[in-house]
Amino acid sequence: MSLSIDAAISGMVEQQRNIELIANNLANVNSAGYKRAKIHFQDILSTATVFSAASGAATTQPSSSAGVATAGITRDFAQGSLQPSGREMDFAIAGDGFFRVKLDDGTYAYTRAGMFSLDGTGRIVTVSGELMDPAVQLPSRFRDLRIDDVGVVSVTRDLTTDELAALGPYDPRDGKRVIAGQMNIFRFPNPAGLAAIGNSRFVATPESQAAIEGKPGESGMGVVYSGWLEASNVDIATEMTGLVIAKRGYQLNLVAYKTIEEMLSKVNQVI
């Protein structure tokens, strides 16, 4: 009976974990660049079955399970819909790729959340202050930021005093178009192997393999758009369906636990 109780308890624990994960997905339904998480389960072999297999002993008895455990949690890196933000420092990637940012400890993280701003020197940083890498520095008092199909960043800046002095009486004085830098993005051979560290950021692991740097629109990379954000890829209907199933699974395991306890109680009364 102990295996039955263990199985029922593990079922309740894992379904609670599943519900918590679904709740987190739903909480981030409006988080830019968020990627849906999914939990995967596997059965737990009983101790006797494991010892038997390890010793190589032959047995005609079928293997028995002692419940369920989390096999792993994966991320769905499917493309989220692109939504206009009306803010030129918001960037979205259509297709494969990540923005790379430099963390405070000097390591790198990768994100699809394209909400950026400028630091005191005009460098592009995340809203939490992490520097985009490779760094792109914009001139002061710029306007009309544009990113072309291969990631070249250009802006219109004000004319300097010397440039204004050199203009003729009929020359335009509405600024000068300049190239500010190159915005490269990164992709992975196995993005499912990335490890989430919060704030829609991920770090490379041996499973993801090393990041591949490239220009947008080339070598399988996506294209970067200014003034757009990638929405979360969480589908509310899918999550609500999963929530109902997880809740039902929890209830069934609870019923099983109570039934087993009742059976044990009756056995003890007979003994």
Distance between CA atoms of residues 180 and 126, nearest Å: 18
pTM of this prediction?
0.83
Distance between CA atoms of residues 239 and 236, nearest Å: 5
Exposed, middle or buried: residue 6 (CB in 10 Å: 0-12, 13-18, 19+)?
Answer: middle
- Asked if 210 and 13 count as a contact pair (C-beta separation under 8 A), the reply is no
- Enumerate the domain spans of the chain: 2-77+234-270, 82-225
Full pLDDT tens readout for the chain, 271 residues? 577 888 999 999 999 999 999 999 999 999 999 999 999 999 887 554 444 444 555 555 555 567 899 999 999 999 999 999 999 999 999 999 999 999 999 999 999 999 999 999 999 999 999 999 999 999 988 989 999 999 999 999 888 777 777 777 777 777 888 999 999 999 999 999 999 999 999 999 999 999 999 999 999 999 999 999 999 999 999 999 999 999 999 999 999 999 988 888 887 777 6
